[in-house]
Amino acid sequence: MRVRDFMSTNVVSVDEKTLIDDARKIMDAHKIRRLPVMKKDKLVGLVTKHMLLEASPSPATSLSIHELHYLLAKMTVKDIMIKNPYTISPDMPAEEALQLGQEKGYGAFPVMENNRLVGVVTESDIVRMMTRVLGVKEKGKRIDIRASNEFGTMKKIMEILDKNKTVLLSMLTLPPEEWEKDWLVMLRLKGEDAGPIAKELKSSGFNVTYVG
């Protein structure tokens, strides 16, 4: 799955000269927390709702309350935005986008293609994507297995599912931690009772650690 498969394409953006108060109203109206900032058709920055709420002039304590309010009323998103924000390609694999966000501590990325803003990916988009990948919207049961990464392991599991005509909603594998030996294989199966499948997996030598 690529970024283009789950990014938001109805991007709401603002001009760099947009007043902070106006940007806040735009965010509230569209129920969003980030705004790409444009200069003509070029992406030049990114502002978040937190940045707008925290916006204030430089700490000049000699200013009166009225002067501070006047300065705030004149501030634009250009004054507080993240300049030249990190962007990603719509062809980036989903897992790379997720890893990049974790590494850099970013909650969103503007998506650029041919020097044009084509979308935005946020942590909410990634959560929705993971929900689809894991098949959690469909009713089913889960089985966790501890297994080696030897060739043939996945084949054996799939043969058991096929023999029992069990629909696999999703399968996720996690590598072992340093102190562990086997991989964690998480199966989500369509149906009301995973007991018979778990029993057959155990009888075939698999270490079933969870059924539910």
Mean pLDDT of 171-175: 88
Strand locations in the chain, DSSP E? 14-15, 34-39, 42-48, 82-83, 108-113, 116-122, 140-147, 168-174, 183-190, 207-211
Three-state DSSP at 41 gives coil
Q: What are 39-98's pLDDT values in tens digits? A: 998 999 999 998 888 875 555 445 566 666 666 778 899 999 999 999 999 999 988 888
Q: What are 126-156's pLDDT values in tens digits? A: 888 877 777 777 788 999 999 888 888 999 9
DSSP 111: E
Q: Which comes out higher in pLDDT, residue 166 or 129?
A: 166
Q: What is the amino acid identity at position 193?
A: D
* pTM metric for this prediction: 0.69
Q: Output the pLDDT for position 52.
A: 85
For the chain, domains (ranges, CATH) are: 3-131 (3.10.580.10), 135-211 (3.30.70.260)
For 4-8, 23-27, 88-92, 129-133, which range has the lowest pLDDT when averaged over its residues? Answer: 129-133
The backbone torsions φ and ψ at residue 185, rounded to the nearest 5 degrees and listed phi first, read: -115, 120
Q: CA 176 to CA 82: how far, in whole Å?
A: 38
- How far CA 121 is from CA of 84, 160, 197, in Å, comes to 16, 38, 38
